[in-house]
A = this chain, B = another copy of it.
Amino acid sequence: MMLEICKKAQAASVQLAKLSTEEKNLTVCKMAEALEANADQILSANKKDAEAAKAKGLKTALLDRLALDNRKIANMARCLREVAEIDDPVGEIIKTWTRPNGLMIGQMRVPLGVVGIIYESRPDVTSDASGICIKSGNAVVLRGGSDAINSNIAIGEVLRDALANTAVPVDAVQVVSSTDRSVAEEFMRMRKYVDVLIPRGGADLIRTVVEKASIPVIETGTGNCHIYVEEDADLDRAMPIIINAKCQRPGTCNAAEKLLVHQNIVEQFLPVAIAALRKEGVEVRGCKKTAAIVADVKLATEEDWYTEYLDFIIGVKVVKDLDEAIAHINKYGTKHSESILTANFDKALRFIREVDSAAVYWNASTRFTDGNQFGLGAEIGISTQKLHARGPMSVQHLTTTKYFILGSGQIRK
C-alpha cells in the first residue's frame, strides 16, 4: 500500500518540479478556495473525530488542536494564500564561477522530490504542509494520527479535487488512510521514493521516527528553551521578556521552559521574578538556592532540567556565571531557542557563539523562533538538528541544489 502511494508521489514530483511559479501559485490559491467552499464537508468529518476523541477521554489541549471551526478553516486558507506570496526558491541560481580550464560551474536550487510528514492530531497540518510542499515543487505524503483521520481524509479529498483542474498532478498530495502502526513503519523505510521525513508532534513520535526510519529525518519541534539573566541585565526589561517567553503560548515549542539567573542578582531579582510568574499562574520548580531564597518553591529534579513542560511550569536555577549557564543549556537543552539578557556585548557574543542551538537571542523573547516572525514565510516545523536545515523550515528549506557544469569538450587530465 505505501509502496503504491510513494511511487505515485515520486511520479507526481517529476511533473511538479517542471512547473512555473505562476502555475504553482495558482494551484495553491485554488486549494485555499476549495477549503473555504467545502468547509461543511471538512467540519462534518472533523465532528466525527472530535466526538470520538471526547469519548476516548483525550486531554483538553489535544481536543483543542483537533477541533476545527470556520475560523480555523479560514486560517488554513489564509496560510495557503500566504504561501503563494512567498518567493519561489526553485530554479534560483545560487552561485556561478568559472574554472581555469574554462568549465563554467553553477549551483541551482531544485525541489527535494517527495516529502513525508508524520504528524499527530492537528488536521490543519494536512493543508499547511500540502501548500508548502507544492510551492517548493515537492510531492507530499501525509500520515496523520488516528484521532484526526476523518478530518485529514476530508481535507485531502478537498485539496486533491482542487488539484484536478490545475497543472499540479493530483498525486502531489496524498493522505494515508490507514493509521496502522505497521503502515507507518513501512512508510518510514521508503527511502527509494521519499527524500525526507518530517515528524511533527511530541517527543515520543519524533523518537520513534528517528529510530525506525531509513529515510533521512529532520527532527523538529522539541523545545526545552532557556532564558539566562546575567548580573548586568536590565531587570525592568527582563521581566516582560520572561513572562512573554513563558506565558504567551506555553504549549508552543519556542516557549521558555527554564530560567537561569546569575548568582550575584538572586536576592534582588528572584523574589520579584517568581512573584511575577506566579501572578500569571506559573508553577515554579527551583534549584536548592532558589528554594532557599523564595518560599514554597518545589525542588526541581534532575529530570526537570531535561523536561519540555509545554505548560504553565518553569524551572529556575541559580548559576555561578556565564560558563555555567552555557554548559547547563548545552547539556540539558534541545538545541531549539535560548536567550541571554545582558547589557554586556562580550557576554552576549560568547553566548551567541557557544550555545549550540538553532536560534540564540540577545535581549528578546524566544517566542520569535517561527518562520513568519523571522520573515521567512510559513514553515513546516522548527528543525532542532544540524543537518540540512536548522531552525524554521520554510519553503526554501524544502529544496536541495544541483551543480550544472557547462563545457566545451573539457576532459580531466
Binding stretch for chain B, among A28-36, A267-275, A367-375: A367-375
CB-CB under 8 A from A357, the residues of chain B are 402
Cα distance A218–B244 when bound, in Å? 39
Contact check, B375 vs A407: say whether CB atoms are below 8 A apart: no
Contact check, A412 vs B248: say whether CB atoms are below 8 A apart: yes
Contact flags A340-366 to B (C-beta < 8 A → 1, else 0)? 000000001000111011111111110
User: Which of B18, B97, B214, B410 sits near A364, CB closer than 8 Å?
Assistant: B410
Cα distance A4–B374 when bound, in Å? 39
Cα distance A217–B404 when bound, in Å? 24
Q: Report how many copies the assembly holds.
A: 2
Contact check, B103 vs A216: say whether CB atoms are below 8 A apart: no
Contact check, A105 vs B404: say whether CB atoms are below 8 A apart: no
Contact check, A216 vs B216: say whether CB atoms are below 8 A apart: yes
User: Which of B353, B360, B400, B412 sits near A390, CB closer than 8 Å?
Assistant: B400
CB-CB under 8 A from A99, the residues of chain B are 373-375
Cα distance A191–B400 when bound, in Å? 24
A241 touches B (CB below 8 Å)? yes
A303 touches B (CB below 8 Å)? no
Contact flags A400-412 to B (C-beta < 8 A → 1, else 0)? 1111111111111
Contact check, B360 vs A402: say whether CB atoms are below 8 A apart: yes
Cα distance A391–B386 when bound, in Å? 19
Contact check, A409 vs B359: say whether CB atoms are below 8 A apart: no
A55 touches B (CB below 8 Å)? no
Contact check, B195 vs A387: say whether CB atoms are below 8 A apart: yes
What's the interface size class on A, roughly?
Answer: 35 or more
Contact flags A224-245 to B (C-beta < 8 A → 1, else 0)? 0000000000100100110011
A144 touches B (CB below 8 Å)? no
Contact check, B356 vs A113: say whether CB atoms are below 8 A apart: yes
A287 touches B (CB below 8 Å)? no
**Can you list 23 A-B contacts (CB < 8 A)?**
A18-B354, A99-B373, A108-B352, A113-B356, A195-B385, A196-B387, A211-B214, A248-B412, A356-B402, A359-B404, A359-B405, A360-B402, A360-B404, A360-B405, A361-B404, A363-B410, A364-B406, A364-B408, A364-B409, A367-B411, A367-B412, A374-B403, A390-B402
Besides the contacts A211-B214, A245-B411, A363-B407, what 5 more A-B pairs have beta carbons closer than 8 Å? Answer: A359-B405, A362-B405, A364-B405, A367-B412, A387-B400
| Chain A residues close to B by CB (< 8 Å) | 14, 17-18, 97, 99, 103, 105, 108, 110, 112-113, 191, 195-196, 210-211, 214, 216-218, 234, 237, 240-241, 244-245, 248, 330, 348, 352-354, 356-365, 367-369, 373-375, 385-388, 390-391, 400-412
The 10 A-B pairs with the shortest beta carbon distances in the complex, nearest first, are: A364-B407, A244-B411, A367-B412, A386-B400, A388-B388, A237-B409, A359-B403, A364-B410, A387-B388, A363-B407
